Structure 1
Amino acid sequence: MTEEKRQRHKERMQQRKEIVDAGIARAQEDKGVFIVLSGDGKGKSSSGFGTALRALGHGYKVGVVQFIKGAWECGERNMLEHMPDVEFHVMGTGFTWETQDDEKDKQAAEQVWEKAKAMLQNPELHLVLFDEMTYALNYKWLDKNEVLEAIANRPVQQSVIITGRGAKKYLQDACDTYSEIKAVKHAFQAGIKAQKGIEW
């Protein structure tokens, strides 16, 4: 690399640093955030659970409620539900296309929502993850206004993550951070079986 290229690179990095530093200087409010991870691509729950592990790694306590997948074994639950700093609850009925019983699913969602509401009132929980909650909202098993109110009134330092496909605009409007994972290519579409430890 020539001296001229090194100098140009240094100048570009200095400009980038000034932009980043200015952004950090502007962000002075200290409070928990509400994150929604949606889209039709793979990785929403993985991202949510990754953030839960990150919080645990810093010594924080975490709460998890799993909607939809509750009757299905998953590695995240195997790992987390017995950890002392994790409160873990599951809806328990499993995938809707397996149960094919809307009323049963609604009752199960309402029951586990009571646990979720208690988490949203617990200041000891630094992070609460509602995995696949968008389905419970979209199927109207839960009242969206009640959910949004409970999240809005949570302890000020508590963060909340909701994952799942089809997040409605009211969730996008209410949250602080919204990320959408796009499905570009998936092994399952090519006939490759779902892999234990990768998909669940």
Structure 2
Amino acid sequence: MSEQDTSQQDKKNQKHKAAMEKQKAKVDARIEEASTERGVALLLTGNGKGKSSSAFGIVMRALGYGQKVGVVQFIKGQQLSGEEMYIKDHCPQVDFHQMGTGFTWNTQDRSGDIAAAEKTWAIAEPMLKDGSYDVVVLDELTYMLAYKYLDEDTVLNALKNRPVEQSVVVTGRGGGSALQDIMDTVSEVKEVKHAFKAGIKARQGVDL
């Protein structure tokens, strides 16, 4: 490397170092400002793939810290998923429940779906009152609100009034602005492409 090339490389390194120092200062300042210690409410929404997968990533993270976790899945349940099989086989400390009716477009039974939703909520609601749970995941709960299978005020009040140290993760498309308003973090997963639309079957370990 020539002397000129070395000089240019040194300038790039110095510029990069200065930019990273500035970025670190901003991050450190935000960390310093975050002084409130409590559980968080996280909504994973949007029409893209990965909402439930992200929620189960949080489950694994919580288990890494030895925390108590509850998982309640609305809608899903007719077809075994990789998450369900792994948790049942390897994570007996996770309280895992499923509504078990499958998707609403399969059942085509509104009355039956409402009854199933209410029965499943009767399992989820006590978790949101139990301070021994560090993390509660309510997978696909948004559909229960969108289809009006559950009373919105009842659900929102339970989410808002949960124990202060408890974190809750809600997944699913939609759910309404009132739900978004009470959540601390709202992340939207956007679909850019999806293999299914190209005729590619769902894949075990990735989709199931």
What is the TM-score of this pair, normalised by structure 2? Answer: 0.93
- Cα shift readout 1:98-150 (whole Å, capped 9, x = no counterpart): 11001101000000101101111111111000001111111111111111111
Q: Tell me, yes or no, if structure 1 residue 155 matches structure 2 residue 131.
A: no
**Cα gap change, 1:81/1:137 in structure 2, threshold over 3 Å: closer, same or farther?**
farther
Q: CA deviation at 1:166?
A: 1.6
8 Å CA contact 1:133–1:163 kept in 2: the answer is yes
Q: How does 1:108-123 map to 2 (within 5 A)?
A: 108-123=116-131
Of 16, 24, 43, the match for 1:9: 16
8 Å CA contact 1:81–1:87 kept in 2: the answer is no
8 Å CA contact 1:38–1:181 kept in 2: the answer is yes
Q: CA deviation at 1:72?
A: 2.0
Q: CA deviation at 1:167?
A: 3.0
Which residue in 1 is equivalent to 2:35?
28
Aligned partner letter, 1:36 = L
Unmatched segments (≥5 aa) in structure 1: none
Structure 1 CA distance for aligned equivalents of residues 119 and 88 of structure 2: 18
- Taking only aligned residues, the RMSD between alpha carbons, in angstroms, comes to 1.0
Q: CA deviation at 1:8?
A: 1.1
Structure 2 CA distance for aligned equivalents of residues 5 and 42 of structure 1: 38
Which residue in 1 is equivalent to 2:179?
171
Q: Tell me, yes or no, if structure 1 residue 52 matches structure 2 residue 59.
A: yes
What is the TM-score of this pair, normalised by structure 1? Answer: 0.97
Aligned partner letter, 2:195 = A
8 Å CA contact 1:60–1:85 kept in 2: the answer is no
Q: How does 1:25-104 map to 2 (within 5 A)?
A: 25-82=32-89, 83-104=91-112
Instruction: Give the number of the structure whose alpha-carbon radius of gyration is greater.
Output: 2
Unmatched segments (≥5 aa) in structure 2: 1-7
Structure 1 CA distance for aligned equivalents of residues 92 and 133 of structure 2: 12
Q: Percent identity?
A: 53
Structure 2 CA distance for aligned equivalents of residues 167 and 177 of structure 1: 14
